[in-house]
Amino acid sequence: MEILKTVSEMQAWSDNIHQKQNQICLVPTMGYFHEGHLSLMEKGKEFCPDLVVSLFVNPTQFGENEDLDSYPANIERDVKLAEKKGVSVVFMPDKKEIYPDGFQTYVELTKLPGHLCGLSRPVHFRGVATVVTKLFNIVKPDVAIFGSKDFQQLQIIRRMVKDLNYNIKIVGCPIVREDDGLAMSSRNAYLSPEQRQIALCLSKSLEKAEDMILNGEKITSTVKKELASYIKSFSFTEIDYISICDPETLDEIGDGDINTADPLLIAMAVYVGRTRLIDNRIINPVQ
């Protein structure tokens, strides 16, 4: 396994692979690997043997009051885990390599970021779309793998790839959960033991919502109210949003507008203490 730190080394490696008519798969990450990341690498290996994992804590996707400086890291462990998974290259640039002096070009979407996490994290998806565009031009992948815990991110990447005509297959992978249901996240490391228990309210309330809708509840505001009151019953919690929306457009589904022919997305962001957690579930309503 190679560890590459500069754009030009990475581009040269990728050009060499392509000259041999081989394909490249990219798994973009911010490091501090958990089972979720490892599942993306496993999926990547199914597509091509030449698997690149990028490891870069991208400053432009953090707002001013967010956790850029405290974001958990363990590069030595990450490198070992990547090697075990059969990764070909860990691309690990420093911030100046990605954002040199005078940097001023951003990729922005006009609609999808105006929902869910984009509302409380106004610069987040601009940063994500920009760094992913850069990684696509640096790594030149044929396939790129993303988790679906940040479902909005996945949809934004899909739209961006289509809009900017990248010839890259985007693969979304299921959320990986702890045995008790908590969605895996690098940010779970911030939780105290007590908060770790409380954090289960996200996955449990998604199950609750699925039950209500599968049992015929058509009034989305009723489902959201029920979830909100359940989550608020735990100490340390503060709801950022609970949304029931169209998985493609992310537009909210109004009371009575549930169309049993289409899947819907239930997504939420909840603070547990100072840690902001997200989770979501796609539901196929039945008649």
Q: List active site positions.
A: 37
- Residue from 4, 52, 79, 138 in contact with a second copy (CB under 8 A): 138
Out of 2, 35, 83, 108, the only residue in the binding site for a second copy (CB under 8 A) is 108
On the CB side of 45, CA atoms within 13 Å amount to: 13
* Side-chain half-sphere CA neighbours of 139 within 13 A: 32
Among 64, 96, 165, 261, binds a second copy (CB under 8 A): 165
Tell me if 129 contacts a second copy by CB under 8 A: yes
Q: Of the two residues 137 and 260, which places its CB atom closer to a second copy in the complex?
A: 137
16 touching a second copy, by CB under 8 A: no
**Which class for 134: exposed (0-12), middle (13-18), buried (19 or more C-beta within 10 A)?**
buried
Q: Is 106 in the site for a second copy (CB under 8 A)?
A: yes
Judged by CB under 8 A, does residue 159 bind a second copy?
A: yes
> Using the rule CB under 8 A, is 166 a contact of a second copy?
yes
* Alpha carbon distance 198, 123 (integer Å): 29
Burial of 8: CB neighbours in 10 Å, binned 0-12, 13-18, 19+ = exposed
Q: What angle do CA 131, 104, 124 make, to 5 degrees?
A: 45
Nearer to a second copy, 51 or 156 (CB): 156
Beta carbon nearer to a second copy, 110 or 233: 110
Which is nearest to 29 in space by CA: 18, 41, 21?
A: 41
Q: Which residue has the tokens 């902001």?
A: 276
Q: In what helix (H) or strand (E) does residue 52 lie, and over which residues does it extend?
A: strand 51-55
User: Three-state SS for 178?
Assistant: coil
56 binds a second copy (CB under 8 A): no
Q: Locate tokens 């590069």: which residue? A: 75
Closest contact distance (angstroms) between CB of 163 and a second copy is: 4
d(CA 147, CA 137): 21
Give the binding-site size for a second copy (rule: CB under 8 A).
30
Q: Is 251 a binder of a second copy (CB under 8 A)?
A: no
To the nearest whole angstrom, how small is the minimum distance from the Cβ of residue 90 to a second copy? 18
Nearer of residues 79 and 160 to a second copy, judged by Cβ: 160
Q: Is residue 65 involved in binding a second copy (CB under 8 A)?
A: no
Residue placing its CB nearer to a second copy in the complex, 62 or 236: 62
- Tell me the residue type at 70: S
Contacting positions for a second copy (CB under 8 A): 7, 11, 18-19, 21, 100, 102-112, 129, 133-134, 137-138, 159-160, 162-167
